[in-house]
């Protein structure tokens, strides 16, 4: 056995991969060889570290030195200085990893220190393409225990006792779902993993699959044993090529090691898993539409009931869980129900992974115990709002969710609290908005998404959401009329009540929640033809303040449409007829004399 004195972990998640982390890994290995260090230093490609914005990211163990924004041209310096001579390359350290000249290890950085990694426990730590690294970190121990020491009912009881709830959005108790599927009558049953992940900006599930694919395979196999199924499917969008590739490698390795296939661990239990690629329609994440799609039909939702647990894939009882839900299963078996319940809250035990985005210092993937407040996530881990701007709202749950305003920043994140505020936990999208965001426009953005993604099966959703979008477009372009707001509310209620599937039923949420907390912004647009945040271009006018203008002429020279006139050292003026509202002049004015009104 060859013992290495240092491991260099290069992030191979989608984010870092797109900025050439694979080439960095190659070059690193070449340089290490050149320096004769290949028997001392090992280079490993891992899944996402969660800080994709500052990628490509590299961590060197045993010290835990965290390099970010690593370029191909930095590789030689890291090898020659750090790996050969032991001198950390300070200029490449992640910005928060140096404090008063002390270099912090990766786990000491605030962004990680405040997280609790359960579903992401192995992401960024193990090589996802090497089953032995997963096994080293207790992988497949849960399956071994379930198959050799536990009855099917005991397995289900354990999942029930853990209190685990579905991470795909609705928060349905996982153990209960397993029980329904086990009790459903039928000789053939299926286990499905929902990896469709269609929320704009969400990449939690992708990161788990890229960073720790075996945890999902192991959990599905345990589920198969519990419900009495011998065939699993992972439904994943084709736009996730890295995740697809790593899953396929993982499946092949698990088969090779006898952890998938016939007579697993000599228990007499057979189980296999196959991938099914989706075209990436949002509605295909809805479980019944997903089933139709696997069956080769067009992905349109079915009526419920019957629920998939009774009549799912090809009419057979089918268990469907989300990627993150599965990723929690093996570790619950390893560390026990009491441990799991000690994290999070009474009704929402465990953690939740969020994709933190928008107007926030550290965008990225974070995993926090349920019950953590929005404030802790946004300010503690996320590092707050950039450029000293004011926080306005946070959007959770993507197109099915809502906006939560400042007053509720101290709300603990759990299923019930978020629902009470008119939003939802959802699958884990979390978008932060500051004073420059227009809430009407945010609602428009999400409605635009749903209108595109509606499958068209029912009128309420197909026509209703389009009507809502038209009204929102009218309002944001300054053509809103009295009665529009009321019309939006009426449509929202109708769609909620009559849409067939969750997509339509929740589509009005972004409008309803912004109307609830930011009605004044809607009213300003409609009645005063004014956008309070200055975002809606067609509703703002650019004006030069006579008292502040020094007549330097910079704005005039930079205006692309010659909309500004004025003599040197005299106040300038903008011709509103000519101004195309590009904003250049505001940026250029050295005296802050130009305002949006």
Partner 1 sequence: MKSIEELNKIRQEALAKMNLRTDEERIRIVVGMATCGISAGARPVLTAFLEEVSKRKLENVVVSQTGCIGLCKLEPIVEVYEPGKEKVTYIEMTPEKARRVVAQHIVNGNVVNEYTIGSYKSE
Ligand X SMILES: Cc1cc2nc3c(=O)[nH]c(=O)nc-3n(C[C@H](O)[C@H](O)[C@H](O)COP(=O)(O)O)c2cc1C
Residue 29, SS3? helix
Our finding on whether 585 is near ligand FES (CB under 6 A) is no
CB of 500 to ligand SF4, least distance (A): 4
* Site stretch for ligand FES (CB under 6 A), options 268-276, 319-327, 433-441, 493-501: 433-441
Our finding on whether 89 is near partner 1 (CB under 8 A) is no
- Answer for the pair 226, 377: CB distance below 8 angstroms, yes or no: no
Give the per-residue contact string, 440-479, with ligand FES (x = CB under 6 A; - = no): xx----------------------------------x---
Identify which of 200, 177, 172, 174 has the alpha carbon closest to the alpha carbon of residue 401. Answer: 200
Our finding on whether 571 is near ligand X (CB under 6 A) is no
Identify which of 266, 271, 273, 256 has the alpha carbon closest to the alpha carbon of residue 148. Answer: 266
Give the per-residue contact string, 520-539, with ligand FES (x = CB under 6 A; - = no): -----x-----x-x-xx--x
The pair of structure tokens assigned to 119 is: 């579903």
Our finding on whether 172 is near ligand X (CB under 6 A) is yes
* Site stretch for ligand SF4 (CB under 6 A), options 318-326, 331-339, 391-399, 493-501: 493-501
Our finding on whether 168 is near ligand X (CB under 6 A) is yes
CB within 8 Å of 230: residues ≥ 6 apart? 224, 270, 271, 272
Q: Looking up tokens 């990680």, which residue turns up?
A: 112
Segment 118-157, which members bind ligand X (CB under 6 A)?
none
The pair of structure tokens assigned to 278 is: 């989706």
- Whole-angstrom Cα distance, residue 222 to residue 228? 10
CB within 8 Å of 553: residues ≥ 6 apart? 566, 568, 572
Our finding on whether 232 is near ligand X (CB under 6 A) is no
- DSSP character at residue 535: -
- Whole-angstrom Cα distance, residue 563 to residue 556? 8
Provide the residue count of the chain. 597
Residue 403, contacted partner among ligand X, ligand FES, partner 1, none, CB below 5-8 A by kind: none
- Answer for the pair 96, 109: CB distance below 8 angstroms, yes or no: yes
Residue 301, contacted partner among ligand SF4, partner 1, ligand FES, none, CB below 5-8 A by kind: ligand SF4
Give the per-residue contact string, 240-279, with partner 1 (x = CB under 8 A; - = no): -----------------xxx---x-xx-------------
Q: Looking up tokens 């405040």, which residue turns up?
A: 114
Concatenating the DSSP letter of every residue in 31-89 gives HHHHTT-TTTEEEEEES--S-GGG-S-EEEETTTEEE-S--GGGHHHIIIIIIIH----
Interface with ligand X (CB under 6 A), residue from 501, 511, 531, 540: 501
CB of 594 to ligand SF4, least distance (A): 5
Our finding on whether 551 is near ligand SF4 (CB under 6 A) is yes
Using CB under 6 A, list all residues that contact ligand FES: 11, 13-16, 48-52, 55, 57, 438, 440-441, 476, 525, 531, 533, 535-536, 539
> Which residues of the shown chain bind partner 1 in the complex (CB under 8 A)?
1-7, 9, 39-40, 61-64, 84-87, 105, 107, 125-126, 132-133, 135-141, 144, 148, 257-259, 263, 265-266
Residue ranges binding ligand X (CB under 6 A): 166-170, 172, 194, 196-198, 282-283, 285-287, 320-322, 325, 427, 501-503
């Amino acid at each position: 056995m060859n013992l290495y004195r240092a491991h260099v972990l290069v992030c191979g998640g989608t984010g870092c991969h797109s900025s050439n982390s694979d080439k960095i890994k190659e070059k690193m290995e070449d340089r290490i060889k050149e320096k004769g260090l290949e028997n001392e230093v090992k280079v490993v490609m891992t899944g996402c570290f969660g800080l994709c914005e500052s990628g490509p990211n590299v961590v060197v163990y045993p010290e835990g030195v965290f390099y970010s924004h690593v370029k191909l041209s930095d590789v030689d310096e890291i090898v020659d200085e750090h790996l050969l001579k032991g001198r950390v390359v300070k200029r490449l350290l992640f910005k928060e990893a140096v404090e008063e000249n002390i270099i912090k290890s990766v786990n000491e950085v605030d962004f990680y220190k405040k997280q609790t990694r359960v579903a992401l426990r192995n992401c960024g730590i193990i090589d996802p393409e090497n089953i032995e690294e997963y096994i080293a970190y207790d992988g497949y121990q849960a399956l071994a225990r379930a198959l050799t020491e536990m009855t099917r009912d005991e397995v289900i009881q354990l999942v029930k006792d853990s209190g685990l709830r579905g991470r795909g959005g609705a928060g349905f108790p996982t153990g209960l779902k397993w029980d329904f599927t086990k009790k459903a009558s039928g000789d053939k049953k299926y286990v499905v993993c929902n990896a469709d992940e269609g929320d704009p900006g969400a990449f939690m599930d992708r990161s788990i699959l890229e960073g720790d694919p075996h945890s999902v395979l192991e959990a599905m196999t345990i589920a198969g044993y519990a419900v009495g199924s011998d065939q699993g499917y992972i439904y994943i969008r084709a736009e996730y090529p890295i995740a697809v590739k790593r899953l396929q490698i993982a499946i092949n390795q698990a088969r090779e090691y006898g952890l998938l296939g016939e007579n697993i661990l000599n228990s007499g239990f057979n189980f296999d898993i196959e991938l099914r690629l989706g075209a990436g329609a949002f509605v295909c994440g809805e479980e019944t539409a997903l089933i139709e799609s696997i069956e080769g039909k067009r992905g349109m939702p079915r009526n419920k009931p019957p629920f998939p647990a009774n009549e799912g894939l090809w009419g057979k009882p089918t268990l469907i869980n989300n990627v993150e839900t599965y990723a929690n299963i093996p570790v619950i078996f390893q560390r026990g129900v009491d441990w799991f319940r000690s994290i999070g809250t009474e009704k929402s035990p465990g953690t939740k992974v969020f994709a933190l985005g928008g107007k926030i210092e550290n965008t990225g993937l974070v995993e926090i115990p349920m019950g953590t407040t929005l404030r802790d996530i946004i300010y503690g881990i996320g590092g707050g709002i950039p450029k000293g701007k004011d926080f306005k709202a946070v959007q959770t749950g993507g197109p099915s969710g809502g906006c939560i305003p400042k007053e509720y920043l101290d709300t603990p994140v759990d299923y019930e609290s978020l629902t009470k505020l008119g939003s939802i936990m959802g699958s884990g999208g979390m978008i932060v908005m500051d004073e420059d965001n227009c809430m009407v426009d945010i609602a428009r953005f999400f409605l635009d998404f749903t209108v595109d993604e509606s499958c068209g099966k029912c009128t309420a959703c197909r026509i209703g959401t389009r009507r809502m979008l038209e009204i929102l477009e009218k309002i944001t372009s300054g053509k809103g009329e009295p009665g529009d707001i009321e019309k939006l509310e009426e449509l929202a209620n109708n769609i909620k009540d009559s849409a067939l599937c969750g997509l339509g039923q929740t589509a009005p949420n972004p409008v309803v929640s912004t109307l609830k907390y930011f009605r004044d912004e809607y009213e300003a647009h409609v009645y005063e033809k004014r956008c309070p945040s200055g975002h809606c271009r067609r509703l703002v006018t650019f004006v030069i303040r006579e008292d502040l203008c020094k007549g330097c002429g910079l704005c005039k020279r930079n205006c692309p449409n010659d909309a500004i006139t004025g003599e040197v050292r005299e106040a300038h003026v903008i011709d509103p007829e000519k101004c195309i509202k590009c904003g250049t002049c505001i940026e250029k004015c050295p005296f802050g004399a130009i305002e949006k009104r």
